[in-house]
Chains A and B, each alone.
Chain A
Amino acid sequence: MYRYDEFDRDFLADRNRDFRGQVARRLAGDLSEDEFKPLRLMNGLYLQLHAYMLRVAIPYGVLSSRQLRQLGMIARRWDKGFGHWTTRQNIQFNWIKLTDVPDILEALAEVDMHAIQTSGNCIRNVTADPLAGAAADEIEDPRVWAEIIRQWSTNHPEFSFLPRKFKFAITGALEDRAAIAFHDIGIRMVGGPGGTKGFRIYAGGGQGRTPYVAQEVKDFLEPGQLLSYLEAMLRVYNMHGRRDNMYKARIKILVNAIGVDAYRDQVEAEWKRIQSEGIDFPAEEVERIRAHFAAPKLPNMRVDEAAFSKARAKDAGFDRWVRHNVSQHRNPQYAIVSVAFKEPGRPPGDASATEMEQVADAAERYSRGEVRVTYSQNVILPHVARVDLHDLYSDLKSAGLVEGNTDLITDIIACPGLDYCNLANARAIPVAQDITERFSDPKRAEDIGELRLNISGCINACGHHHAGHIGILGVDKKGTEHYQITLGGSPGDDASVGSILGPSFPAEDITDAIENIVETYLAKRQDGEAFLTTYKRIGADPFKEALYGTR
């Protein structure tokens, strides 16, 4: 992973000194709240329902166990002992004092971490495939370019006061695990002419009240041209994105208003003009960064397949965990392990300080000290020797983190909702808890199969309900919490926005409604097809009929 040197540390120290000064000026009245707000947001600090919330950047979801331990320390010392993994691979703390923030940022800097640009109308933390560098289907490691984009966008002199927030996602694998289609700019690494590798660029994806799937802007871009191209894309947006209405200020609105072809023409014209301005990093600098992501030397760890099968046969929990939470590593002696923060009843993606430390220990012992945070609010141990899987399982079991439910109905993505968030219309966590408890029988969840269920507490869609196979949106109906259901969304290669099924349900009926949808699917599915396949085949009508027909 990328390691800071003197330059990066000095930069971070400058940044933290800068923000400490801004906090002091705010407390002294030299900065109004109106002026301070964009500055604190650019340092990840929101004012939420109960307190300040600090969102800490986990660049492209990559953490070391040392960093994870420090996050645990911060949760314990300055918060109430827990944090929340976000869909953008970050972590947020819910009970932060403004006056403590400069010290917290210094504690983060001790482990080369920060909260820079995790919020605000600027270029946000870049997200990437959480399996980068380990996945069997990888074309090229996207972390190299995610880090390059992180550096280029950090404190950008021209793009720190954009019309609205701006999110990048990048994947280097055949399967998109980074939901690139739902980002302002999505980047896919692809093979080009003559065995070269480059980028395909998409723009204008997003969720919120007007969800769009991103459209292709550039079919193939040489690696050495990425930053100048992005600079042209951002400049066109900065100049022409709407600033009169915050709900129409995202790049998706610009791209869809003028059309992707017109947007592309403007970008290409600007790009031609600026290509020789030296915006792209020199080749030696790209290589310096690339060297940080060299594949780890994994020792030869032969696995006794017979013993492994025996262990699975003896322990149904272990067997289920292997089936759902262990995936293929590019080295056949190794595996990628998903640690689920999703057992029935848990607020999705919440992790206690103790759990952070336990995962840090496990990563140190079994995964070369490497941890990843995923889009679905879980944690990945990317390099586990298969021979160690049972030991790892036992360690995680004593920590209570062995729910074997990756991509099942109980692996719910949810925003913090009205329990914490200032913008929410309805609670999301209690709904997730109810549903996970209803489907808590692992055999039943497994029988239902792959089913992504996403919950957002308001139309800002932080729970990505538009991209859920089943999406739940909290709405405020005359002062009471109601929930609207969408079906058919998907975040991956078949990216699509879900369609609203019908009238919303009050809180007490939503779990029954979900169960009704699941039962309809089970009754209609053919040959073990997944929920989304059945939905695409039969459409919304059978679900509507089952759900609303009897009313």
Chain B
Amino acid sequence: MALVDLKTATRSIGAVRNAIEVDVAATPQERTAVIVDAVLNGDAISVPFAKFSDGRGFSVARLLRSEHGFRGEIRATGHVIPDQALHLLRSGFDTVELTGGRGDKHWSDALASYSGAYQRAQRNPLELRREASLRQRKQKAAAGLGESLSATASLAYRIGIVAESVPGRLAFSTSLGKEDQAVLHAIVASGVEVDVFTLDTGRHFPETLKTLKATEEHFGIKIQVMEPEAKDIEELIARDGEFGFRTSVEARKRCCEVRKVIPLNRALKGAAAWITGLRREQSAGRANVPFASWNVNPDLYKINPLADWSEADLEAYIRANNIPVNPLHAEGFASIGCQPCTRAVAPGEDLRAGRWWWENEDGKECGLHNRPRELEVA
């Protein structure tokens, strides 16, 4: 017997769990009895479809989840067709028992056939109409803000516009690189209240840490240092080893996740806007960075006040304002991350070529600036 796993749109491999069948005409009491058995034995619950057009099973799955709170596997058996794949998934089913010659491809195609849905269901893997409306409103606001930002060349003035346009807490994450030093200068100069923080991954260059101290002294401010959870680091090293990030992109991303992304999310919690030092010139992948955009999760505006600046603009600003910079820049390090994962770049190379240089050119991001939409399953 083979199953289609609706959440991954693949044929499930390995042993198939035993399933207890629940009658579609069962009373709530009878459903409860089936659930008790299933939970005690670690079994799945199967919901039979006598005919694909008999839609009681959709309500039964929904009730098993929402009325009875069953969290185990719910499997559709009997006559169901691939065209019902999303109906099944969204009603609370996990798997479908494959019968006859129905190919897996029809099922995976059907699961990918829609990108949106109008109604909230038991599970919501597709963007909901209400979410799209919210996104449109936020994107419109972000576009308006972006337009205001592009109307002035003054960096400090841009920070002021953000403070005026976005009600709520502003947060700025600094890596202490050149870009971020310039933004920090403008924040201090504008007098706007912004929470400034940096992520201490535990793997930074000593020069970076020195720059942190020098910066705090220069501007007379306190930069909050966010650290990864000790427990997460232990688990990461136990799983992938001390230098696991060199073995695969996945392992490297797990390292970035624990050392950077999770602490960043902690720092951004409750922020209305997140100011960054991204520039379009930095890499091909950042060529279209807007001045302002809306981020779904966490729900905030992401502001890139340096988006249109050239390297020369940046250098001129730093010189003119006598801003301290990380000494590594002078040694050919353009973009500076953790010590084991950053090297200097040669003249003419992409500015981010020195990050994870052993990986493919495409998508060299740590996950701070390009999170994929999660396939949320309630």
Contact = CB atoms under 8 A, between A and B. Distances in A.
Direct contact between the two chains A and B in their complex (CB within 8 A): yes
Interface of A: 5-7, 10-11, 14-15, 17-18, 21-22, 30-31, 35, 38-39, 121, 151-162, 227, 235, 238-239, 243, 273-274, 277-279, 281-282, 284-285, 288
Contact of B113 (A14, A38, A159, A235): A14
A473 B119 CA distance: 40
Interface string B41-59: 0000000000011111011
B116 A152 contact: no
A239 B129 contact: no
Given A5-B136, A282-B130, A161 B58 contact: yes
A362 B54 CA distance: 47
B133 A239 contact: no
Scoring A7, A282, A285 by chain B CB atoms within 10 A of each residue's CB, the highest score goes to A7
B117 interface: yes
Nearest to B80: A161
Given A14-B114, A121-B53, A151 B119 contact: yes
B83 interface: yes
A277 B58 contact: no
A18 B62 CA distance: 25
A11 B58 CA distance: 22
B358 interface: no
Contacts of B66: 273-274, 277
A161 B119 contact: no
A235 B62 CA distance: 10
Contact of A154 (B53, B89, B113, B118): B118
Contact of A285 (B62, B106, B129): B129
B224 to A, nearest CB: 34
A159 B120 contact: no
A155 B85 CA distance: 12
A542 B224 CA distance: 95
B91 interface: yes
Scoring B83, B87, B113, B122 by chain A CB atoms within 10 A of each residue's CB, the highest score goes to B83
23 contacts: A5-B136, A7-B116, A10-B115, A14-B115, A18-B83, A35-B81, A38-B52, A39-B83, A152-B118, A152-B119, A153-B119, A156-B119, A157-B86, A157-B91, A158-B59, A158-B62, A158-B121, A161-B52, A161-B55, A235-B63, A273-B67, A278-B120, A282-B130
Contact of B59 (A152, A155, A238): A238
Contacts of A284: 133-134, 137
Given A14-B113, A282-B130, A284-B134, A155 B118 contact: yes
A15 B119 CA distance: 15
B119 A279 contact: yes
Contact of B117 (A6, A30, A155): A155
A278 B53 CA distance: 27
A160 B114 contact: no
Contact of A279 (B54, B81, B90, B120): B120
B109 interface: yes
Contact of B53 (A38, A274, A279): A38
A95 B61 CA distance: 41
Contacts of A239: 56, 59-60
A10 B114 CA distance: 9
Contact of B120 (A22, A30, A153, A277): A277
A161 B53 contact: yes
Contact of A21 (B52, B109, B133): B109
Given A22-B83, A157-B91, A161-B52, A285 B130 contact: yes
B9 to A, nearest CB: 15
A385 to B, nearest CB: 35
Contacts of B63: 235
A6 to B, nearest CB: 8
Contact of B55 (A15, A35, A162): A162
B55 A160 contact: yes
Nearest to B83: A39
B377 interface: no
Nearest to A35: B81
Contacts of A227: 119
Given A17-B113, A18-B113, A35-B81, A158 B129 contact: no
Contacts of A121: 53, 55
A21 B109 CA distance: 10
A227 B119 CA distance: 10
Nearest to A7: B132
Interface string B118-144: 111110000101101110110000000
Contacts of B132: 6-7
B121 A151 contact: no
Contacts of B62: 158, 235
Contacts of B53: 38, 121, 161
Contacts of A15: 114
A6 B120 CA distance: 19
Contacts of A22: 83
A352 to B, nearest CB: 35
Listed from nearest, the 7 A-B pairs whose CB atoms lie closest are: A161-B55, A157-B90, A7-B132, A151-B118, A158-B58, A157-B87, A14-B114
Contacts of A39: 83
Given A14-B113, A35-B52, A157-B91, A238 B58 contact: yes
A274 B134 CA distance: 24
Contacts of B130: 281-282, 285
A235 B129 CA distance: 22
A245 B187 CA distance: 73
B88 to A, nearest CB: 8
B133 A288 contact: yes
Nearest to A154: B118
Nearest to A151: B118
A11 B114 contact: yes
A227 B56 CA distance: 20
A378 B219 CA distance: 76
Contacts of A282: 130
Contacts of B116: 7, 10-11, 14
Contact of A7 (B84, B120, B129): B129
Contacts of A279: 119-120
A516 to B, nearest CB: 46
Contacts of A14: 113-116
A149 to B, nearest CB: 10
Contact of A157 (B58, B106, B115, B136): B58
Given A10-B116, A18-B113, A288-B133, 6 more contacts: A14-B113, A31-B81, A35-B81, A121-B55, A155-B117, A279-B120
A349 B204 CA distance: 78
Nearest to A161: B55
Contacts of A153: 119
A21 to B, nearest CB: 7
B100 to A, nearest CB: 11
A285 B120 CA distance: 13
A157 B62 CA distance: 10
A289 to B, nearest CB: 9
A235 B119 CA distance: 15
A99 B182 CA distance: 63
A6 B119 CA distance: 17
A514 B367 CA distance: 78
Contacts of A278: 120
Contacts of B84: 161
B119 A18 contact: no
Nearest to A38: B53
A278 B378 CA distance: 12
Contacts of B54: 161, 243
Interface in B60-74: 60, 62-63, 66-67
Contacts of A277: 66, 120
Nearest to A152: B119
B294 to A, nearest CB: 15
Contacts of B88: 157
Contacts of B86: 157
B133 A285 contact: yes
A448 B66 CA distance: 59
B119 A160 contact: no
